[in-house]
Amino acid sequence: MNISEQLTCLFSAEVEARDDSYVVEVPKQEVDVGYVDPTEAYQLAMFEVPTDQESPSLSNEPESDHDNDHETDPDPDPDHNHDRPPVNEGDTRVVEIKEIGDQGDGLARVDRGYVVIVPETQMGERVKIEIETVRENVAFGRVVDRVDHPSE
């Protein structure tokens, strides 16, 4: 799946029937943080979430290249891989936790805004992770080392 660089936010929601239409509610946090302006029009893409996987609510904040210290060999043809996730199981990365998801797990973004869920992390923390599970739209990583803790 190719994800546009114009992606504003990503969250899970149910389609609800209301009167003669159907509604998808945008979480208040998306407006409060400033990723969505309720006076603007947006395009909406919908993907079915498997019943055994609950996607966290998250916002898109692209990371700069220095936030992604790759320790795997880069693909010689990066344009060739836009249909696949930008990480593989076993990859290690240094990432910054930009948000906390609905389940309390840390959320980081890597190449093309791809989301990595990292349990037992805090907002603003920089951690070295190993990618354990890769799915089409999200990966799960475990902390290998804590690089920088957020100020308390």
Unique residue bearing structure tokens 């923390």? 125
pTM of the model: 0.48
Domain with residue 94: its CATH number is: 2.40.50.140
Q: What does pLDDT average to in each consecutive run of 10 residues of the chain (152 residues)? A: 65 84 83 78 74 44 41 46 83 92 90 91 94 92 89 58
Asked, for residue 116, whether it belongs to a domain, the answer is: yes
Domain that holds residue 84: 61-148
Number of domains in the chain: 1
Within-domain flag for 86: yes
